[in-house]
Amino acid sequence: MSFVTTGDGVQIYYKDWGPRDAQALVFHHGWPLSSDDWDAQMLFFVQKGYRVVAHDRRGHGRSSQVSEGHDMDHYAADAAAVVHRLGLTGAIHIGHSTGGGEVARYVARHGEPQGRVAKAVLVSAVPPLMLKTEANPGGLPIEVFDGFRAALAANRAQFFLDVPTGPFYGFNRPGAQALEGVIRNWWRQGMMGGAKAHHDGIKAFSETDQTEDLKAISVPTLVLHGEDDQIVPIDASGRLSATLLRNGTLKTYPGLPHGMLTTHADTLNADLLAFVKA
């Protein structure tokens, strides 16, 4: 297994598939999952001749279950450590949900300043801010995230069944066909990680204001968001992000859920490929 050790001693697991001289795509996963959540995209792109890289966020998947550093600054720095270890330049960074927040902070703080990023993609991503405030009335009230923390602390295993069975993939919608394998895979990925990282991560993805990150990004950035996203509100996140980016393009998908990269992988892969090749 491949690991990079960060400056504060955390071991970050990563995958690196495909030709070393090919265009690199770096995938950033959502909460509370792992790099495995990008399987459908990584297999698709490696078969197209690209180099595909993904890592498990600290406290998630196969990375160290450390107590500290579960915030966007550390997430972005850890991603930068992987990029530096692999010597990637001109990479395209693609993030889902919390991973989209990680991409925004990485590109703004590390990628563009170091000249290592060519493009970015935010898929169902949390920026600029999920929490409802006076300045962000379209966000979700703090009680929603307090409920997440309470459910996780009370019975993480059950909570990690309830989320994918219900709103994450839209399986709670009338007529939706729940996919048992998808639900179990979400649960498997979640339970691989640490409860402390997952608990702290709720604050990271909900309360981090990334307005300035988005404004700082100048590389072409594609924003993809499902119009039936029950986890990250499209108006306060996807649509608003596209207006804050200097070089952003928004594409929305009627009826698609938060986890559309899994439930509608063919659609997402085609749009990602078109953007990568543009």
Over residues 154-177, the pLDDT tens digits come to 999 999 999 999 999 999 999 999
Domain 2-277 part of CATH 3.10.20.30: no
Per-residue pLDDT tens over the stretch 41-83: 999 999 999 999 999 999 999 999 999 999 999 999 999 999 9
Q: Which residues of 100-132 are buried (b: 16+ CB within 10 A; e: fewer)?
A: bbbbbbbbbbbbbeeebbbbbbbbbbbbbbbbb
CB 137 within 8 A of CB 161: no
Read off the pLDDT of each residue in 261-269 and give the average, rounded to a whole number: 98
Catalytic member of 29, 60, 74, 258: 258
Residue found by looking up tokens 């001289």 in the block: 21
Residues 200-252: tens digit of each pLDDT: 999 999 999 999 999 999 999 999 999 999 999 999 999 999 999 999 999 99
Q: Which of 35, 63, 64, 97 is catalytic?
A: 97
Nearest residue to 59 via CA among 3, 12, 100, 115: 12
* Integer CA distances (angstroms), 181 to 14, 17, 101, 111, 163, in order: 24, 24, 27, 36, 14
Whether the per-residue pLDDT at 108 is higher than 90: the answer is yes
Is this model's pTM higher than 0.95 or not? Answer: yes
pLDDT of residue 28: 99
Predicted pLDDT at 1: 73
Q: Look up 218 and say whether it is catalytic.
A: no
Catalytic residue (choose from 63, 229, 237, 241): 229
d(CA 210, CA 216): 10
The predicted model gives 94-116 an average pLDDT of 97
Domain ranges of the chain: 2-277
pLDDT tens digits along 14-50 = 999 999 999 999 999 999 999 999 999 999 999 999 9
Q: Is 162 a catalytic residue?
A: no
CB count in 10 Å sphere of residue 166: 15
Q: Is 264 a catalytic residue?
A: no
